Structure 1
Amino acid sequence: MTGIAEQGSTDAPMLPDKTSKRRVVAWSFWDWGSAAFNAVVTTFVFTVYITGSSFGDKDVITAQLGWALAIAGVLVAVLAPITGQRSDTSGRRKLWLGVNTFIVVGLTAAMFFVEASPSFLLLGLVLVAAGNVFFEFASVNYNAMLSQVSTARTIGKVSGFGWGMGYIGGIVLLLIVYFGFISPDVGLFGVTGENGLSVRVTMLIAAAWFGLFALPVLFSVPEYHSPAAARRPRVSFLRSYVVLAEDIARLWKTSRQTVYFLVASAIFRDGLAGVFTFGGVLAASVFGFSPGEVIIFAIAANVVAGIATIIAGSLDDRLGAKPIIVTALIGLIVCGLLVFLLHDGGQIVFWTAGLALTLFVGPAQSASRTFLARLIPPGREGEVFGLYATTGRAVSFLAPAMFALMVTIFGATYWGILGIMLVLLVGLLLLLPVKAHQHQIG
């Protein structure tokens, strides 16, 4: 690794000198399209559907969903840094973004075949878990592109704009599926709720949405070419783990604060993922929201989260990423505890404390991405964001496992809230000692 880059500085050499608005918009459309998976599949529609009474006991199925996502997290933890490393070496970052994205599109479309019957539960869980695995692989390459479309002065704004586009895309798509298929007794094309058809058709719409809006980044952002100083010979897949171990050891020696941040973000970003993954399930199972009411809440939540994230992106460039992350985590923990403690208060509790909770998720996610992006040496983005995936949301067995464990021990879904809050608290405590101003040296 060569060169020095300071967190919050304006002269990090790994970033381009000028931001292309066209490329930023094209890049951010992937975030817009990804709402089809994040909002519709994993949070507010499909996971709510398969944890409903049509598939069996709600508390039991909710725990099973947690274990399925935990297994998916283990797979990503093992594979994500290697896939990122190999995309850096091969110079095919955009290619693998496209491949993994369209695998997710295919898996989302396959959810159409999950009928409202206990015999289809396993298929539904497998598709959700597999979708999470390949979505994380795609995210590794997508996040690595951040340094290709932003500058040192705009990286926070660009990252926040991308996250905000994701939330806005979620709003638009949720409005389409709610008024087009889920809310009416007879929706577009004569679709009804019988045998879960309205939700199943929604999965086809979500797949088409993601596939369509993933195209701009593939056409407008040039393929990545690693700088000569960062190029390394290609090695076998298994040998990649040896190279990875050597790189981690070197990172520990040359930029220990980066390692500390990766560990801290491993915890708190997994908690952030848990908030959205189980938010819709909690709304339906604990607070009695109907599927339609869950979507209405989701639209409101995406409005709040999108505005907060775009604003926080500008503050990130001025104040630095760490203050944004710390403030957001404290806000999340306070609001989450209110939801847990007041769970008997009815829907008003979730509409107030739950909606306030969404105010902090996006800023924490976006600022975490920019914190790391400012530190990565050129030619290593895919690999380090692969580590970022592994040590963060990709190790997503933590929050789902804690959620499932709490539900299993206490026998009620609302205890899962406390499991996620504990994950966020541990992540916050590990983040506090990490130095916000740090150097990468090599």
Structure 2
Amino acid sequence: MHMIQTVAAVADSAATRGRVVAWAFWDWGSAAFNAVVTTFVFTVYLTGSAFGDKDVIPAQLGWALAIAGILIAVLAPITGQRSDTSGRRKFWLGVNTFAVVAITATMFFVEASSDYLVLGLFLVAAGNVFFEFAGVNYNAMLAQVSTPGTIGKVSGFGWGMGYLGGIVLLLIVYFGFIAPEVGLFGVTSENGLAVRVSMLLAAAWFGLSALPVLVRVPEYRAPTAERRQRVGFFRSYAVLGHDIARLWKTSRPTVYFLLASAVFRDGLAGVFTFGGVLAASVFGFSPGEVIIFAIAANVVAGVATMGVGVLDDRLGAKPVILTALAGLLMSGLVVFFLHDGGQIVFWTAGLALCLFVGPAQSASRTFLARLIPAGREGEVFGLYATTGRSVSFLAPTAFALSVTIFGETYWGILGIMLVLLVGLLLLIPVAAKQQKIA
């Protein structure tokens, strides 16, 4: 009997490990959208001179993403809540993921002409909406593939896989299509073809990487005691309002954490959003050098995130987040004060920044995941997405105001650091140990 139980435990452990790897492969594939579409390749292409005034298009891109952010803020908690009650969390992860895949593939048709600017902006905005919806369900599955004692390690492994996936895909895109005059399959840069073909590769990459979690991880089924009545779409908002009021009454520290994390997560997003701009405009990086730096940044961030996940389980999420934010502030100030030091400054201090970004992101997810009772993961992570989007203007505004007031791009670094500092100060009063949400 004892031997049978031992064999069963080993088999269950192997099954759990397999589900963790399958789950993390979604993060691996998400680099196709995070790194290739929104950060280093497609948006750089779309804001180029071929599409119009290079001083105007970035603002238009910002407005498109702002509209996307509003839609996400309004709809994310409802879609998450409904995936909980319907018991179709994995189904909606698949639907939203492959919507992103289809949108990314459609970017192939965005030729290097101002006639295609609106199409390109629409696709980037729409991709962001569906990607965030997919992320709500993906984050909610964290509790399904981990235990209370391994949630930090599993979350860090997922974030790390995302960074490592970005490394591999950026290497393929750069050396296969962007850098050579004639790339793979005879692709050239004429009419933006190198970038457009890269979008097809990114779509296939994400689609294939998403299959393991959809095949290997079982569909979510809420415990009978936690199941809630299904309601209509508009009625879901009334339920949401009731849930937020209850959260405020019964678990106010969770609300404070959602607010604090919204601010510092926007600062983290600003580090990546404007990192390429700073590298090019302040430190003289060429577009190719920006991608090479991005590859190195992903290496550093991926290794750090996987390693710190173990500390998350041992020490808790809050100490990890506080340490990471402090490290980000110190590294950012080095970049600011030594901006005249050339590329070596950005390579060293910039990579130091990347050392702390991933751990802060991963620990923020695990802090919340430990508090959520079974059956409400989608709803609460929907609120997590909503609070993040509700302040998504902070880092871009702080960056733009700093540059406008002081007249030099490097002053934007202080704007981003200010957002991170505010997030850090808001987090300090939040208790490190909290009870499950009622």
Gaps of 5+ in 2: 1-11
Q: Quick check: 1:55–1:118 contact (8 Å CA) kept in 2? A: yes
Instruction: Give, as a single letter, the amino acid of the residue that structure 1 aligns with 2:144.
Output: Q
Is 1:287 paired with 2:274? no
Letter in 2 for 1:101: T
Q: Distance in 2 between matches of 1:426 and 1:49?
A: 33
Taking structure 2 as the reference length, what is the TM-score of the superposition?
Answer: 0.92
Matched, 1:99 2:95: yes
C-alpha separation between the residues in 2 aligned to 1:185 and 1:234?
56
| Residue equivalent to 1:372 | 368
- Per-residue displacement from partner, 1:183-208 (whole Å, max 9, x unpaired)? 11100011111222111111111011
Query: Could you tell me whether the CA contact under 8 Å between 2:248 and 2:255 is conserved in 1?
Result: yes
**Higher relative contact order, structure no. (Cα contacts within 8 Å, ≥ 6 residues apart):** 1
Quote the residue 1:131 is aligned against. 127
Deviating more after overlay: 17-26 vs 27-36: 17-26
> Are residues 1:309 and 2:305 paired?
yes
Instruction: Call closer, same or farther: CA 1:284–1:43 in 2, change over 3 Å.
Output: same
2: CA distance, partners of 1:131 / 1:408: 30
Q: Distance in 1 between matches of 2:209 and 2:129?
A: 20
Instruction: Tell me what 2:172 maps to.
Output: 176
The question of 1:108 aligning with 2:114 is answered no
Tell me the residue number matched to 1:250. Answer: 246
In structure 1, distance between residues paired with 2:280 and 2:83: 40
Q: Does 1:145 pair with 2:145?
A: no
Q: Work out which of the residue numbers 312, 331, 337 in structure 2 matches 1:335.
A: 331
Aligned twin of 1:54: 50
Residue in 1 aligned with 2:263?
A: 267
Conserved in 2, the CA contact under 8 Å of 1:308 and 1:363?
yes
Q: C-alpha distance in 2, partners of 1:70/1:162?
A: 27
Distance in 2, Cα, partners of 1:330 & 1:270: 16
> What residue in structure 2 maps to residue 13 of structure 1?
none
Is the CA contact (8 Å cut-off) linking 1:339 and 1:353 kept in structure 2?
yes
Equivalent in 382, 392, 397 of residue 378 of structure 2: 382
Q: Equivalent residue for 1:7?
A: none
422, 425, 429: which one aligns with 2:421? 425
Aligned residue for 1:11?
none
Deviation at 1:176, TM superposition (A): 0.8
- Give, in whole Å, the separation in 2 of the partners of 1:320 and 1:18: 26
Output the CA distance in 2 between the equivalents of 1:409 and 1:127. Answer: 33
1:85–1:383 Cα contact (<8 Å) kept:
yes
> Which structure has the larger Rg over C-alpha atoms?
2
- Cα 1:48/1:152, change in 2 over 3 Å: same
Distance, in Å, in 2 between the alignment partners of 1:24 and 1:181 is 33
**CA deviations over 1:230-286 (Å, ceiling 9, x no partner):** 212221212111111110111111111111101101111122122223322332343
The answer to whether the Cα contact below 8 Å between 1:44 and 1:279 also exists between their aligned partners in 2 is: no
Deviates more, 1:352-361 or 1:414-423: 414-423
Q: Which amino acid in 1 is paired with 2:61?
A: L
Given the alignment, which residue of 187, 191, 200 partners 2:196? 200
SS at 2:234's partner residue?
Answer: helix
- CA gap of 1:40–1:368, structure 2 versus 1, over 3 A, is same
CA contact under 8 A between 1:328 and 1:364: conserved in structure 2? yes
- Which stretch shows the higher mean deviation, 275-284 or 258-267? 275-284
User: In 2 relative to 1, CA 396–360 (structure 1 residues): closer, same or farther, beyond 3 Å?
Assistant: same
The verdict on how the C-alpha distance between 1:380 and 1:427 changes in structure 2, with shifts beyond 3 A counting, is same
Structure 1: which amino acid aligns with 2:386?
Answer: T
Whole-angstrom distance in 2 between the partners of 1:284 and 1:194 = 23
CA contact (8 A) 1:91 1:226 kept: yes
Summarize the Cα distance change of 1:63–1:344 in structure 2 as closer, same or farther, 3 Å threshold. Answer: farther
On the 8 A contact 1:74/1:395 being kept in 2, the answer is: no
Alignment match, 2:81: 85
TM-score, normalised on structure 1? Answer: 0.91
**Structure 1 partner of 2:225:** 229
Q: Which moves more between the two structures, 419-428 or 16-25?
A: 16-25
SS across alignment from 2:56: helix
User: What is the RMSD computed on CA atoms of the aligned residues?
Assistant: 2.0
Identity level (%): 82
How many residues are matched? Answer: 427
3-state SS of the aligned residue for 1:145?
Answer: helix
Q: Secondary structure at the match of 1:287?
A: coil
Partner of 2:8: none
Is the 1:185–1:193 contact (alpha carbons within 8 Å) kept by the matching residues of 2? yes
Of 27, 30, 41, 2:37 maps to 41
Residue matched to 2:393: 397
Amino acid at match of 1:425: L
Question: Could you tell me how far 1:404 is from its partner in structure 2?
Answer: 4.4
The CA distance in 1 between the partners of 2:392 and 2:96, in whole Å, is 18
